[in-house]
Amino acid sequence: MDFYGDYHTHSRHSDGRQSEEDIIKAAQKQGLKEVAITDHGPLAAVIGVKTAEEYLDIKEKLDKINAIDNENLPRVLLGAEANIRDMKGTLDIPYYIIKELDLLIAGLHPYTLPSSIQDGLNIFLQNSLRHLGKAQQEKAVNANTKASVEAIYNNPQLDILSHPGLFFRVNTKEVALACVKKQVLFEINCGHKHPDISAIMEADKVGVDFIINSDAHFPGSVGKLEYGKQLIEELKIEQNRVVNLRCQGGYSQWGKKIRDYIFS
């Protein structure tokens, strides 16, 4: 079981420890046909790009790389891992930048600047209180789930929900149902080895389509997708529901931007 591409990696533009060239060489070494560079949005402290406009600089560089006539190099896609900021699912990347991306990922991350004080209390402070008892944990899960579901519904360009429930625990069934309805891919994140098998089983029952990504921050992690491969084999998930397997044909088959263009 081989993979067509790895669609979640980070460069030095955010919190990665690798250049664009490092990522591409690592993807080539793994035999991938495609790789996406998806740096964090600007409003998560320390880990994000300096400004949203930085994606335009990355795009210019990747366009030049893709123009090189070398069939051995993987195709390089420009993406972003946006941060969910509030209970309405607002992302920290403006639409005029999103239009320039090939693909869009979003997830909940610590130390993200919320849209309002109330959203900061509802999501980020509430999650810091989750250890104080079952009631506080339930409030946190409800807030996290609502923020994630609203992000799925209110951002029609969203391709992938990153590591659902990793830093902020969610109701997997509710999030998975939203992914199915809005055709958002449910990520199995090999860098964090998340979600665990029970959550993937729950999402599988709902009928999501999965994508297995590395979330690589170092060259040695690019294309290392064994965690996801083992889980889908163990659970006997149908291969046509894992979009980045070699047999699926790559981004042109599942990327919302390119599908919207083809069928518009």
As a whole number of angstroms, the distance between CA 259 and CA 237 comes to 24
Q: 3-state class of 39 per DSSP?
A: strand
- What is the percent of the chain with per-residue pLDDT over 90, rounded to a whole number? 89
Q: For position 243, what pLDDT does the model report?
A: 98
Phi-psi region of 57 (alpha: psi -120 to 50; beta: other; left: phi over 0): alpha
Number of domains in the chain: 1
On whether the CB atoms of residues 161 and 153 are closer than 8 A, the answer is no
Query: Quick check: bond before 156 cis, omega within 30?
Result: no
Q: Using one digit for the tens of pLDDT, what is the confidence trace for 92-148? A: 999 999 999 999 999 999 999 999 999 999 999 898 888 878 888 999 999 999 999
The per-residue pLDDT for 262 is 44
Q: How far apart are CA 43 and CA 217, in angstroms?
A: 19
Q: Which of 166, 184, 185, 177 lies closest to 202, judged by CA?
A: 177
Residue pair 164/172 in contact by the 8 Å Cβ criterion: yes
Q: Rounded to whole angstroms, how far apart are CA atoms 76 and 21?
A: 10
Location of structure tokens 């980045």 = 244
Q: How far apart are CA 22 and CA 27, in angstroms?
A: 9
Q: Give the pLDDT confidence score for residue 260 in this predicted structure.
A: 61
CA–CA separation, 202 and 171 (whole Å): 10
Q: Domain of 149?
A: 5-263
- Describe the strand order of the beta sheet including 103-107 as a list of residue ranges: 5-6, 34-40, 75-83, 103-107, 160-161, 185-189, 210-213
- Residue-by-residue pLDDT tens, the chain, 264 positions: 799 999 999 999 999 999 999 999 999 999 999 999 999 999 999 899 999 999 999 999 999 999 987 888 999 999 999 999 999 999 999 999 999 999 999 999 999 999 999 999 999 989 888 887 888 899 999 999 999 999 999 999 999 999 999 999 999 999 999 999 999 999 999 999 999 999 999 999 999 999 999 999 999 999 999 999 999 999 999 999 999 999 998 999 999 987 664 444
Tokens of 107: 């997830």
Phi, psi at 212, each rounded to 5°: -105, 115
First to last CA, the chain: 33
User: CB under 8 Å to 146, separation ≥6 — which residues?
Assistant: 87
Q: What is the CATH number of the domain that holds 138?
A: 3.20.20.140
Q: What is the pLDDT of residue 64?
A: 94
Name the E strands within the chain.
5-6, 34-40, 75-83, 103-107, 160-161, 185-189, 210-213
Q: What is the pLDDT of residue 9?
A: 98
